[in-house]
Amino acid sequence: MISEVKKKEVKAFNIDIFFDAKATEIADTFLDYGDVRIYDKLMALDRAHQSVYEDAKGRAR
């Protein structure tokens, strides 16, 4: 759903603010998810925090 909003709203400031505040927490939430492809999706949605997701992807189980 977030992807659809970002496509429709070029200036999706609320989404950017959300990711600014929660990127690390989101990344840590999926450490035990079992499918590291989730981080590829997060990187596509939130390019500003790509390094956070890459780091978490490396630590994921």
Residue 53: burial class (beta carbons within 10 Å; 0-12, 13-18, 19+): buried
Give per-residue pLDDT as tens, 5-61: 777 776 778 888 999 999 999 999 999 999 999 999 999 999 999 999 999 999 999
User: 59 Cβ partners below 8 Å, 6+ apart?
Assistant: 31
Cα–Cα dist 48/15, whole Å: 12
Q: Say what the pLDDT of residue 16 is.
A: 87
